[in-house]
Amino acid sequence: MTQKIAIAADHGGYTLKEDIKNFVFNDLNIEWIDLGAHSEESVDYPEYGFKIAEAIENGQADQGIIICGSGIGISIAANRSPSIRAALCTSKEMAELSRQHNNANVLALGARIISKETAMDCVQAFLTTEFEGGRHERRVAKLGGSQNA
């Protein structure tokens, strides 16, 4: 099944968003949509967290990647939607665990916190790691929201 990924960032994450599109998406069998921002002009991160949540909830995308300076603000915004499980990750291991244990459907990154190389590793791991299910199924179900979104 082809994955459909939505990506969004504020001005602090704009450059890393472009790098992810160029270096990761083009190497993997995925379709992607870019929900902005489209420059380094200052914008407000909640709008981009909300856009990703909306794209996943309405079926435009299966998963999302969101980036701001720290990754904190945009992940808080996305996680306001009940069916979003946005995981702010700073290592490849965290990105793997967010999929294996939490069935995270959004990866959040802080462009001012991690190196470009670590960010690429996180994206690659997030997009290629499956949810383990089993005992984690019950815990994720307790978070509420849709399990498929």
49 is a site residue for ligand RB5 (CB under 6 A) = no
In the complex with ligand RB5, which residue's Cβ is closer, 49 or 96? Answer: 49
* E strand intervals along 1-100: 3-9, 30-34, 63-68, 86-88
Active site residue 101: yes
Active site residue 68: yes
Identify the CA nearest to 124 among candidates 85, 83, 93: 93
**Residue of 73, 99, 103, 121 that binds ligand RB5 (CB under 6 A):** 73
50 is a site residue for ligand RB5 (CB under 6 A) = no
Size of the site for ligand RB5 (CB under 6 A): 8
Footprint of ligand RB5 on 107-126 (CB under 6 A):
none
Q: Are 101 and 132 in contact (CB under 8 A)?
A: yes
**Residue of 30, 72, 94, 97 that binds ligand RB5 (CB under 6 A):** 72
Q: Is the dihedral of CA 58, 63, 66, 70 positive or negative?
A: positive
